[in-house]
Amino acid sequence: MLKFFSKFKYLFITLFILSCIIIYLFYNALKPKERLPVYQPSMVNPELVDSTIQYQKKYHKIADFNLINQNGEVITQKDYEGKIYVADFFFTTCPTICPIMTDNMVNIQSEIMNDDDIMLLSHSVTPQIDSVPQLKKYALKKGVNDKKWNLLTGDKKQIYRLARKSYLAVKNDGDGGPYDMIHTENFILVDKEKRIRGFYDGTKEEDIEKLLNDIRILKSEYSN
């Protein structure tokens, strides 16, 4: 018996290796593909959501917009058509979380620089201060690439509506009137259908790593 097994041991080893490969391929074929959730207003902290849509459970998308970037160009939803993008809210004179958020967004920019599918979008919550020249100065200081990343200013009411009703990313400021905002540290991942696919703390390195990984997962959804 031992002579028999010894005679065919290489055949058995080959069959064993082939069996392992086949099992691995079947496992990968049958394993459900990882997918990101599609966030609806009802899934988000109510403090960040306009009261008119807090209970909405489906069909939420980023609304159309018309704002001005750091180069004085009009930027609309069409400039992000067919793109995955990361959005946030900031202001150039912020002394606390904004510098950290911007530095982390710069790191994301370096990771996606050669990926035509991914862009970045930052909205000023103090557009009365963040004029086009101010945004341009900030962009140059921080290393913003104009082809990948727009810093937006414009009508404050429009930015507020986007923040509260589209991106679900800022809180009301009860002391400053109906259109004053307390922006959060959130980065928001938006897919090609203008749907929110993730929220991340833009001040935390581990969240940035998760965001980059989720971008890869989201891209795989479109490649399958």
Question: How many Å apart are CA 81 and CA 151, to the nearest integer?
Answer: 17
| Burial of residue 86 (number of CB atoms within 10 Å: 0-12, 13-18, 19+) | buried
**Distance (Å, rounded) from C-alpha 197 to C-alpha 8?**
54
The number of CA neighbours under 13 Å toward the Cβ of 187 is 31
Is residue 60 part of an annotated ligand binding site?
A: no
Q: Is 183 annotated as a binding residue?
A: yes
Numbered residues of the known binding site for Cu cation: 94, 98, 183
Numbered residues of the known binding site: 94, 98, 183
